[in-house]
Amino acid sequence: MRRAWSLATALTLSMVSGLMVLWLLAAVGASVTVFFALNATFDSALRESAQQLLVLAVSDERSDASDDDSEEDSDHQPHRHGDHPDRKTGSAFDQDRRLSRLHFDSPRVVGDDVRFRPHRERLVYLIEDRQGRVLLRSHTAHPRLFSMSAEDGFSRSTTSRLYTESTADGVFRIQVAESLARRREAFLQALAWFLAPLMVALPLLGGLVFWVVRRRLRPLHALAQEIASRGGAHLQPVSGEQLSPDLNAVAEAVNALLARLSTEMASERAFSSAAAHELRTPVASQLAKIQRLYATDLAPDVRLALQQMEQSLKQWIRVIEKLLQLARAESGIGFHATPMDAGLVLRMVVDELRREWPDHTLMIDQSESVWLNADVDSFGIVLRNLIENAARHGVLETPIRVHLTAEALTIENDCPVLSPAEIDSMTDRFVRGPSSSDEGTGLGLSIVAALCRQLGWTLAVHSPIPGAPGGVQAHIQFKALSPLIE
């Protein structure tokens, strides 16, 4: 079965997932924009670089050619008033003559004349004449990076982005190449800068969202705990303070339901209590009449019948008494706790039970004064039912041991070992132990368990007694804040 996520986890995952999708979409859109912007920027840089390099290179070469012409004119000084018989005229002749001077056996390489620091060239270029002879190139330029047949403008080879530009007279031509790998590298770097913050921010954002959601859900958890603490004997309204309007509406609906349940259960308890009182009065009256008949002269069979009737009426009185205790327990008397002397209540209950059970021995172990924060009647009902249960099911010849401290109450009696199933069912209503006589009602331990839950105590039944071959131990662990003063 799939395990359901908590509300805080579900909200955190939903918000972080939604934000991640939006961020990724934004990153993709921005990356596409950056891709085209980078290409446009790099293309513009190619064009500007080509034009500037071509202007500088042509100016330099033509300056060198002009210097050569001046030197040649100086060499022919005697003929400056007339034409040399072998000298041609016309611009075509001058251009060819200049190109012959610009061409070297090998092209000029930038960096041969001046020593530069080692560096990685982002752009490589070469300048050639109309015959395709390379006049000038960058020091890492290689012919395979260029396309000799490319037209002026932008073009692309397998590895490079090219820009070709020629002079107006067509004498000089420059090609500038930029590696496509560099452009991809720049694009991937830009994409990484978009995604890197996402990788860092998502865990931080997830933790922040989870913390905020958990903090905002604390009132909901507190409300859930309050609702869980309500039961048949505790139907007080839940607190709606410091709740958001949505949760306050839930609290009001729960309080309305608790009010209806409280009214209905109060009616049922009032009926049970009244019925028990009304039943006890006629039963006690009939019991008194039977006891007066013993003083008369009765036949043996009549006397035996009266004794049986007396036992039945006493059993009825015990059942009625337990029903009254159960009604009081279900009314929530355990929730009305006040500081009380537990040792004094124990002595009063034991004195009363010694008169009712004269054949049983009760051993009290209380080495200190014990004060508890509990309801006096609730503690008395718990003591009476546990000791009665030990007397009714224990071996007559062995004592019942009662040990009271500020931390716990322990009552032990000797009897045959009980099975785990029998121990588990002992707190169910109208379930009697295996050695029960007809005098038992099956309500004693269920009443004790109900009151312990109201008081916040823990009831545990062990059989055999720890460290002994047999017997039963009823152990009640008081809650930490129960002990008050000594």
Last residue of a domain, one of 154, 185, 216: 185
CATH of the domain at 352: 3.30.565.10
Tens-digit pLDDT profile for residues 355-365: 888 888 889 88
Q: Give the mean model confidence (pLDDT) for residues 231-255.
A: 77
Tell me which range, 89-98, 157-166, 377-386, 419-428, is most confidently predicted by mean pLDDT.
377-386
Bridge pairing between strands 362-365 and 400-404? parallel
Q: Comparing 148-152, 376-380, 480-484, which segment has the lowest mean pLDDT? A: 480-484
Q: Which domain holds residue 173?
A: 7-68+89-185
What percentage of the chain has pLDDT greater than the value 90? 7
Q: Give the mean model confidence (pLDDT) for residues 410-415.
A: 92
Residue 57 lies in a domain: yes
Contact 54, 127 (CB under 8 A): yes
Residue 144 lies in a domain: yes
Is the predicted pLDDT of residue 416 greater than 70, yes or no?
yes
Tens-digit pLDDT profile for residues 311-342: 888 777 777 777 777 777 776 677 777 888 98
Q: Comparing 5-9, 75-79, 167-171, which segment has the lowest mean pLDDT? A: 75-79
Is the predicted pLDDT of residue 474 greater than 90, yes or no?
yes
Last residue of a domain, one of 185, 218, 244: 185
Is the predicted pLDDT of residue 219 greater than 90, yes or no?
no
Residue 465 lies in a domain: yes
Confidence of residue 180 (pLDDT cuts 50, 70, 90): confident
Q: Give the mean model confidence (pLDDT) for residues 178-202.
A: 79
Last residue of a domain, one of 185, 211, 245: 185
Is the predicted pLDDT of residue 47 greater than 60, yes or no?
yes
Give the largest CA-CA distance in the chain.
185
Residue 98 lies in a domain: yes
- CA dist 426 and 444 (Å) reads 9
Residue 263 lies in a domain: no
Is the predicted pLDDT of residue 115 greater than 70, yes or no?
no
pTM over 0.75, yes/no: no
Residue 81 confidence (pLDDT): 42
Residue 464 lies in a domain: yes
Q: Comparing 206-210, 330-334, 463-467, which segment has the lowest mean pLDDT? A: 330-334
- The torsion of the CA quartet 413, 416, 421, 426, rounded to 10 degrees, works out to -30
Name the average pLDDT for the chain: 77
Nearest to 330 by CA among 278, 264, 389, 254: 264
Contact 76, 84 (CB under 8 A): yes
Dig out the tokens for 339 from the structure: 């500081």
Q: Comparing 49-58, 105-114, 286-295, which segment has the lowest mean pLDDT? A: 105-114
Q: Is 365 exposed, middle or buried (0-12, 13-18, 19+ CB in 10 A)?
A: exposed
Is the predicted pLDDT of residue 410 greater than 90, yes or no?
yes
Q: Give the mean model confidence (pLDDT) for residues 127-137.
A: 79
Residue 154 lies in a domain: yes
Residue 414 lies in a domain: yes
Q: How many helices (H) and strands (E) does the chain have?
A: 9, 13
The number of distinct structural domains making up the chain is: 2
